[in-house]
């Protein structure tokens, strides 16, 4: 199973806002939905899915295990609770949201539990998020690189994370980019705007197309139907080699997500 290149993110969306976002996205043709235990919206996402009438086997659902649930005694029960909230018997992809703060729960413990969840049929694929090369090496030692479907990381034109991406490519681990629009900063970049103008596209479409053209999955979120529809069209935009080279030159290592209590020692 491969991870869809374009999905809907639901970070910071709650209650009726997330219900409306997911409902509209499904109407427009989105079939991959990304949520997480800590988002506090799994039940609302499940409600929107149930009301949509879209068959479960047409969807690709991802959720993420929060740090408080990484212990071997908590991971699978918490995943079952997520499944109940989402109204499904399985996830297509389950990720470790952040590595355990200060290594409180060993990588071997939570990766072993996550693999067991896959063996039990609770999730089709497993992976990680916000993992460095060092942490990926530890995870690979436990479950094997072939079991790690993706590492979901902050990645946008201003933070291209090439060292980590190169290692993931060597290991056959797919890249999922979150914050692909850089909290909207990228949309105001003069170069991105110039490329968008050349293609008759929006800056958001250019940033998303850039990531997808590199083979990265993207999960942009939006609460506006017109933006949801516009983002979906990014999959049809083809950037030139010159466009791609110019965007590559925007990298400045600008990390926007770096929570002190959670962040590992970044590569």
Tell me the three state secondary structure of residue 218.
strand
Q: Is 193 exposed, middle or buried (0-12, 13-18, 19+ CB in 10 A)?
A: middle
Report the C-alpha gap between 151 and 264 in whole angstroms: 14
Active site residue 158: no
As a whole number of Å, the CA-based R_g of the chain is: 18
Q: Is 249 exposed, middle or buried (0-12, 13-18, 19+ CB in 10 A)?
A: exposed
Report the C-alpha gap between 84 and 184 in whole angstroms: 34
Catalytic residue selected from 39, 158, 178, 216: 39
Are the beta carbons of 171 and 161 closer than 8 angstroms? no
Q: Which residues have a Cβ under 8 Å from the Cβ of 151 and sit 6 or more positions away?
A: 127, 128, 129, 131, 136, 164, 168, 173, 174, 175, 176
Residues involved in catalysis: 39
């Amino acid at each position: 199973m491969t991870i869809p290149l374009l999905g809907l993110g639901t970070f910071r969306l709650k209650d009726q806002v997330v219900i409306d976002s997911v409902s509209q996205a499904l109407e427009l043709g989105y079939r991959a939905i990304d949520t997480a235990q800590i988002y506090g919206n799994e039940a609302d996402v499940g409600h929107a899915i149930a009301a949509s009438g879209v068959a479960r086997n047409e969807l690709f659902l991802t959720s993420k295990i929060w740090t408080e649930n990484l212990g071997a005694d908590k991971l699978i029960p918490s995943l079952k609770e997520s499944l109940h909230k989402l109204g499904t018997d399985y996830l297509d992809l389950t990720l470790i949201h952040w590595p355990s703060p200060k290594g409180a729960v060993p990588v071997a413990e939570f990766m072993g539990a996550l693999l067991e969840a896959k063996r039990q049929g609770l999730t089709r694929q497993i992976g990680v998020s916000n993992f460095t090369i060092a942490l990926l090496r530890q995870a690979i030692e436990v479950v094997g690189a072939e079991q790690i479907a993706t590492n979901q990381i902050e990645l946008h034109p201003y933070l291209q994370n090439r060292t980590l991406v190169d290692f993931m490519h060597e290991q056959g681990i797919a890249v999922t980019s979150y914050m692909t629009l850089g909290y909207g900063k990228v949309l105001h970049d003069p170069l991105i705007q110039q490329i968008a103008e050349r293609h008759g596209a929006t800056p958001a479409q250019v940033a998303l197309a850039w990531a997808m053209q590199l083979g990265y999955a993207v999960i942009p979120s939006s609460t506006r139907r017109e933006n949801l529809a516009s983002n979906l069209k990014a999959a049809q935009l083809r950037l030139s080699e010159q466009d791609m080279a110019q965007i590559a030159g925007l990298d400045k290592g600008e990390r926007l997500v770096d929570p002190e209590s959670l962040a590992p020692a970044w590569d």
